[in-house]
Amino acid sequence: MFIIKYKKKICSFFLFILLLVNSNYFNNFLLSNSLFKPKIFISFSPYGNTENIIINFINKASKEILLVMYNFTDKKIANSLLKAVYRGVNVKIILDGNVLRNKQKIKKYLRNTNIKFNYLYRNMHNKFIIIDNNIVGTGSYNYTFNAQNNNAENIIFLEYFPKIVNKYKKEFYRLWYESV
């Protein structure tokens, strides 16, 4: 009798936890917890350390990176994406197909990532990254040498803004399905 009551209590507890995890109450709890308070990081180039900030966020990824970029030539950022792939992170990239001169070279360099090119627009000028469904980075900053060293650029990272992340993720998949 004691064992049956004990099993019922354990099952009830786990059912309660499962319902809690899938509820808005749990999301609100996480956001009210000091570890999960929304955070904002801003960087400006050429005088900021923008490239390293981007790499540090990529290095935090444990599950998924979704990246949309107009132009991409930065080898350090590309290497950090490849390291993420080797850690088991699912990396999906969409690049503007009209601006890149050597697509095969980029495909070869970013091997083991899921990479697509978008040709639908005169300029697919989006520049954003979504990391582990928790972080969005966006701004004028292309992942290029010039963005880091020669241009006046900006990037903002928003961490623990679920509504914003969801909007960017929706846009990512809209672009993903229209790209080749």
Which positions are catalytic?
125, 127, 132
User: Is residue 165 a contact partner of residue 134, using CB atoms and an 8 Å limit?
Assistant: yes
Give one word for 121, left, alpha or beta, with left for phi > 0 and alpha for psi -120 to 50. Answer: beta
Q: DSSP alpha helices (H): ranges in the chain?
A: 2-21, 24-32, 50-60, 75-86, 103-109, 145-149, 162-178
Peptide bond into 38 cis (omega under 30): no
State which H helix or E strand residue 114 sits in: strand 114-118
User: Is residue 117 a contact partner of residue 179, using CB atoms and an 8 Å limit?
Assistant: yes
Distance in angstroms (rounded) separating the CA atoms of residues 132 and 160 = 10
Distance in angstroms (rounded) separating the CA atoms of residues 148 and 154 = 10
